[in-house]
Structure 1
Amino acid sequence: MQWSLILLFLMAQCCFIDCQLYEFHYINENKTWTEAQQYCREKHTDLVTVTNMKDMKRLINISDGDIKGAWIGVYNQTNGTRTWYWSLPGLEFNESETNWAPNEPTDKGNQGSENCGIVYQNLKWLDQGCKWPEYFLCYDETNTTNKYLLIKDKKTWTEAQSYCRENHTDLISGMKQLQDEEVKKLMNSSDNKAYFGLFRDNWRWSDGSSFYFRHWKKDFNNSESNSGQCAMTVFDDGSRWRNENCDERKPFICYDDKVILIKENKTWHEALTYCRDHHDDLVTITNMDDQRWIQEKVKNASTDYVWMGLHYAWTLQFWIWVSDEEVSYENWAESEPMDDCDVSGAMETRGGHKWFRRNDDEKLNFICSKYYYPVDLGIPPEELVQVAGGGRAAAFQYFNVLHPTETNCWRKIIHLTAKMQWSLILLFLMAQCCFIDCQLYEFHYIKEAKNWTEAQQYCREKHTDLVTVTNMKDMKRLIRIADGNKKEAWIGLYNQTHGTRTWYWSLPGLELNENETNWAPEEPNDGGHQGSENCVIVNKDIKWIDILCQHKYNFLCYNETNTTHKYHLIREEKSWLEAQSYCREKHTDLISGTKQLQDEELKEVMKTTWSKSFIGLFRDTWRWSDGSSFSFRHWNLQFYNQIINSGQCALTVFDDGGRWRNEKCDEKKPFICYDDKLILINKR
């Protein structure tokens, strides 16, 4: 391929890349808050810092049914100074821009400290205890005609904040919103004072950042009595936070920072070279969330400004990120930017953290983004070598000249491909194959009604064979070829008459090795009273026992996408097929393979139960028409895995999610063939 083809190919993959500037990790070990903090600082960056509701949703996504709560990185300073904050993320409270009523704030509540803000009808502020029910003012950033709302339903301050966040954006926050004419009209029509988004506390983040986002449970008491406590997120309460004694032992959440402040003074080009040599690139800022994360970092800089990856392309007459990202979000100071040659963008380290145009030769601190590979090549970055004839520099010049307006995907492409030999480029391309139509086999729906044997003969004559289904991706492809008048169709699976039962793992791609088993004494015994024992449970010691598949037990799921918590004990009794279906829908599959079953994390999970649990081991006499040994099965939940299925065939039922049903092979049905795009040549 030419470079242009490689880049064009990879551009299509960009939407699958996670561009967050920080990553969360759930750690399933019980530790005190201080022990958890130490663990996170040693193995990651720190205990998690939560900056907005998007972060809260990310936290919820890493939870599952058996995770109830976890430490986060917020703690209450003993005898700490209370600080005023705005509820709406992204606004900083300025002591010189306030509208307090005379003699306010007083902090003289008769039920404790006055830590919340309230406004009179004339929009003058006073402090008040947060537990008093009052009217409140919401802000809705998505409503272009009616951004401000007075809610005449009395709630505590925390309840009001929760209501505004769930139904709008947040409580009204900041001087600009409070001085809006629309707000004045609302309060003139009110018969009572109302809460707005001002509060104070002495809770602080473990990493030292000054983010003031809070997500407390609705009955949280924001008073000084919380001194010396720590916060946890409670997943079964919408991940709201609860204050706890810091000595309690709980799981916890760490984060990895993907940006780094370099406190060395370099010109813009020197900074760019340093970031590319030691990390990834000078940082790119694409939205307000990125801006807020970066401005926290630059507060620790030793220069008044910090270089970003923003540069003025004189020949093209516009500003551009070095990542080639379009400048869609801007935070320029007034009168900036001034177009000129040899200038780049820098963020001020104090004040409003605005962007300024600075001469490229100025020597400043700078922010780098860290390496992030969307595909795991299994090769350390330091072992990747540059492509002959130009490498990274030539590649950057190539896309900067020919493709100046493409998206951030170009940067990620170049950082991968510019370091690879051709063999590695091909390996990288292979890894992307799942995102495009480069399957090694193709499916064909045949609407003629035939019995299974006739369908098999037709497929072998005109294609390769009746379809073989290897995994859930294949099932989704089968479902896509169905429409309203396609209810079901034969597939290539049949049950051998008097066939030998064979053990398989539920998770595709794993083969059972008879020499690597862990059966309990005298197992498998196939001793079911109601038929053959074709499924497997494990006891507390993870010894295997064969059992009837329709019996109901707890079960063990495996989740390949959760790097910190792969194994899940589901304490809900289901049949083996119901358990398999649950795991495939919510995780990856039932736990399968001796490697997973010998994992230390699983052993710790099993110490928490005395009940037996299903694993992903089963046996049957079903075989594929093309003679392949794929173990994937997708039966309906009523399927009965017994020898009495002997001599039957399988069809996929489209209006049941493509699940399979066993039928007499003489029934006449439509069917699905496949074409194989590979052929083995048996010649030397």
Structure 2
Amino acid sequence: MKQFPRKEVSIIILFLLTCRGLNLSVLNVVSNVMVWHKAFNYCRNDSSDAAAVAAVNQLMLKLNISGKDNFCTDLSFYEVKWQWSNKDEVTYSNWKRDFFCGFVQSDGTWNDSVCYDQKPFMCYQENSNINERYVWINSRMNWSSAQNYCQVNYTDLVSIRNENENQQIMEKAQGSPFWIGLFNNPWKWSDGENSIFQIWTQNQPDNYLRNEACVEILSDGSWNDDFCGKKNYFFCTNKSKVTTSFDLVEYSLSWLDAQRYCRANYTDLMTVENQTENQKLQKPPQDQGYWIGLSHENDNWQWSNKSPLTYTNWRREFSCAVLQSDGSWNDSDCSEEKPFMCYNEMEYIRTYIWINERMNWTRAQNYCRMNYKDLVSIRDESENEEIRNKAQNSPFWIGLFNNSRKWSDGDKSTLTSNSNQSQLPDNEQHPENCTEVKINGCCVITQYSTEKHLICSQVGWNVTLVNDSSTWEEAVDYCRNKNSHLISISSEMEQNTIATLVNTTKSSSVWLGLRQSRVFGFWFWTDEMPLSYQNWTSGSPPQISFSNHCAVISKDNNFLWASVSCLEKHPFICRSPLISN
């Protein structure tokens, strides 16, 4: 293997999360410039892995270990993983897509599009030979033509039942987006009828400007989706057990007002059962439309071949979820400021608290956790409706977020530090798949193709911050019961690292594993590490004979060490060697 010249500096890095096990890693800076995948392979071949760096941004500013402006770590997009803030299992979702036909993108995720777009497509045929099951068609057609082609020549457009099939189909394709057999029929009749008759005009529906959810009949008898606030004449229907009649109401109203009018004076807005009924309707003048009772409600994605929809792989652009005024969900930039919904839970009974203050997602989460239980999680349709009714008709944060980033060594990313204070990346306008750590104190995301210096890591220690206030002896006992020791600090680099951790607590002080001998007055670490590094407020260790004094790291004193009574109560940090598999 080719050996690159290296400038190596060992520092301690910690991956921070209160009351959870944290890995400390010894890092080696490699001063070669290379793209992400080459950095990944280099670190693999060098018997380590690209750095699992979370708090490194604060440390690098102090250490300036390389003289370079930024480094690329191995945090990258692997899979979409939506989670509830309170750790509830995600058993229900209500995402809303914009369009009506599904396709696979070049990265394997799915997206939706207007169905008249021209794309290549993937057919399938029932065949025991997996290599012959999927058939790539490199001709560009709209979705309906592609479906018809597959049904005539093979079985149908492909359906995808799991991640393994998704990957196999991707390998058959040739690097461009292609149609699959997924389509969305979200259209519902106002009166609840199940009529499947639809007669759209050319290239419709298109949800133009993502703002067309109501249906009008045009002068030629075909249908068009349009903005629901548009003022149109409309058809009402009267239904009895024996007869059904309809009238054109010549008042210009929005779709919703037309629905109210029909329900007050007739039965409902009109449901069109078939072509014969459609032909009987009085047609509007050219360039006008009349409302009928069809509108876009909850998404209803189905496979063309009628297979059950057991797996999806939708791509979403952002990392935090909002509940919209119609009850559907959407993703949003976590740094945007919105109102939000908290919840409390007492004896398995949940109450919902509407907070009509605008905050970004992370601040909203913190507010809910400090004052209530957490940001709201939603477990079924009835909860979704109850929560929507508590809100005030505007989009608001819920506790759902997407942690789609994973370290190349298999660790899950549970903390990042972004300059926009949202904790979660925005992925705005372009694909951002590799994490970069800047010396100026923030982590940003950069593309795989951008060349950066890299950091390789070797895992060495496991660190746990315990936020329960305890006496020094209680803290020692707790750590020993966990086969660890109260934290010791042997260098300025370790001091800076622990200071980063301490800075996240609400407490002004955190116990160190450092105590003064009651008899002789000298200070010692409980893990028997030599006292080779010290950082006292007084500049030197206090000498108080026959005392019961222990050391804390003091946030109020710039993270210097102070001598206090061992009977005081503070949070503490345990540290243990990480046992490698």
Q: Same fold (TM over 0.5)?
A: no
TM-score (norm 2): 0.33
Larger strand percent: 2
TM-score, with structure 1 as normaliser: 0.29
Higher relative contact order (CA 8 A, sep 6+): 2
